[in-house]
Amino acid sequence: MKRVGLLTSGGDCQALNATMRGIVKALANNVDELEVYGFMNGYHGMIYGDYRLLTSRDFSGILTKGGTMLGSSRTPFKDIRKPDEKGLDKVEAMKQNYYKLRLDCLFVLGGNGSQKTANLLSEEGLNVIHLPKTIDNDIWGTDMTFGFYSAVNIATEAIDCIHTTAASHNRVFIVEVMGHKVGWLTLYAGIASGADVILIPEIPYHIDKVLEAIDKRTRDGKGFTVLAVAEGAVCAEDLKLSKKEYKKKMEKNNYPSVAYELADQILKKSGNEVRITVPGHTQRGGAPCPYDRALSTRLGVAAAQAFLDGDFGKMIGIRNNKTVRVKLNESAGKLKVVEKDDQFIKEAKLLGISFGD
């Protein structure tokens, strides 16, 4: 008899269910007797003993379902060593629940923060296998995270829709794309939708350069401009501010996010009125795209194989289209950012896309 636990932690994304299905189907086909426990709402369920014994029926028909059947929540890594309000030691509680259920392995589907906790539990002696989930694609050690391409599709469609109305009205539009501190999602969706300006956190923008790009389009007889702007993008001047000063500046000017700051800068300097669209959490919702279904199934099966091989303390990633096992303590805490000299950036610049630098 083998017993395994599953949890989905952090901001959700598409293909969480598909990944769990991949793990469990591959295990069920290769293990004589299997018990699968699902911890509810991420690490919260593991801390407080909120779990469900899952059956094969739970894993049927979920390949195409968005969200996560286990629920998810954020349990910040920085607080994980701090006792809860009743004095409970969270790490100890998770270990106790793992041992109480006599688990042979815990599969953690999560992003950067969840990965750090997975690594901690592994260092504490639990058998842990991590699967890289996030629309941000910012996990070090894997070319791709599941959820990313589904989000690219949604952000691309949003920018496509903006394109037609921007063209009809000869307007300047900003579409603000998710991605947290990295620009992968904006870069891919921006290129896929033919955005004229792409601003990402890794390349601080200069407002004069952005205006130059808009002016150039006007001079070329194109009445509209579409800007794909990452939520984490920042102008070069703001980089000089501390986090606190930046927050204060945004609040003082009533800028809910960088898109509003940029729109205001454009208006003040050029008189151009700018419209803003923020697709927000739609980018994390709905069914996984076919690529993510295939990727997450492959990662799930590879995770099951790592379990069968007794190879723990690993993240299952994909590199050069092959699944790989990456040591958790190598990947945890590192961010995969867009390098300024990435080939993709160079190609985009050759196309005439402005990055505001």
The catalytic site residues sit at: 136
Cβ proximity to ligand F6P, 11 vs 356, nearer residue: 11
> What's the closest the beta carbon of residue 234 comes to ligand F6P, in angstroms?
14
Cβ proximity to ligand F6P, 223 vs 280, nearer residue: 280
User: Structure tokens of 248?
Assistant: 């204060």
Q: Which helix or strand (DSSP H or E) is residue 295 part of?
A: helix 290-308
- Please report whether residue 284 would count as binding ligand F6P according to CB under 6 A: yes
Cβ proximity to ligand F6P, 97 vs 134, nearer residue: 134
Cβ proximity to ligand F6P, 127 vs 150, nearer residue: 150
Judged by CB under 6 A, the chain residues 221 through 240 that form the site for ligand F6P are 231
Q: Which stretch binds ligand F6P (CB under 6 A): 132-140, 220-228, 259-267, 326-334?
A: 132-140
Nearest to 191 by CA among 155, 242, 164: 155
- Please report whether residue 180 would count as binding ligand F6P according to CB under 6 A: yes
Judged by CB under 6 A, the chain residues 289 through 348 that form the site for ligand F6P are none
- Please report whether residue 113 would count as binding ligand F6P according to CB under 6 A: no
Q: CB of 104 within 8 A of CB of 3?
A: yes
- Please report whether residue 38 would count as binding ligand F6P according to CB under 6 A: no
Q: How far is CA 12 from each of CA 135, 284, 343, rounded to the nearest angstrom?
A: 9, 7, 30
Judged by CB under 6 A, the chain residues 83 through 112 that form the site for ligand F6P are 111
Edge-to-edge, what's the strand order for the sheet holding 172-177? 197-199, 225-230, 172-177, 274-277
> What's the closest the beta carbon of residue 284 comes to ligand F6P, in angstroms?
5
**Rounded to whole angstroms, how far apart are CA atoms 73 and 48?**
13
Cβ proximity to ligand F6P, 202 vs 231, nearer residue: 231
Which of 58, 104, 136, 176 contacts ligand F6P by CB under 6 A? 136
**Rounded to whole angstroms, how far apart are CA atoms 121 and 110?**
14
Q: Which stretch binds ligand F6P (CB under 6 A): 64-72, 91-99, 174-182, 345-353?
A: 174-182
Local structure of 64: helix, strand or coil: coil
Strands 34-39 and 51-54, how do they pair?
Answer: antiparallel
Q: Which helix or strand (DSSP H or E) is residue 272 part of?
A: none
- Please report whether residue 119 would count as binding ligand F6P according to CB under 6 A: no
- Please report whether residue 178 would count as binding ligand F6P according to CB under 6 A: yes
Q: CB of 175 within 8 A of CB of 159?
A: yes
Cβ proximity to ligand F6P, 20 vs 230, nearer residue: 230
> What's the closest the beta carbon of residue 135 comes to ligand F6P, in angstroms?
5
Q: How many CB atoms are closer than 10 A to CB 79?
A: 10
Q: Which stretch binds ligand F6P (CB under 6 A): 31-39, 172-180, 266-274, 345-353?
A: 172-180
User: Structure tokens of 2?
Assistant: 């083998």
Size, binding site for ligand F6P by CB under 6 A: 10
Residue 107's contacts (CB-CB under 8 Å, 6 or more residues apart) are 4, 5, 6, 7, 20, 23, 128, 129, 130, 131, 303, 307
- Please report whether residue 134 would count as binding ligand F6P according to CB under 6 A: yes
**Rounded to whole angstroms, how far apart are CA atoms 26 and 262?**
49
Instruction: Tell me which residues touch ligand F6P (CB under 6 A).
Output: 11, 111, 134-136, 178-180, 231, 284
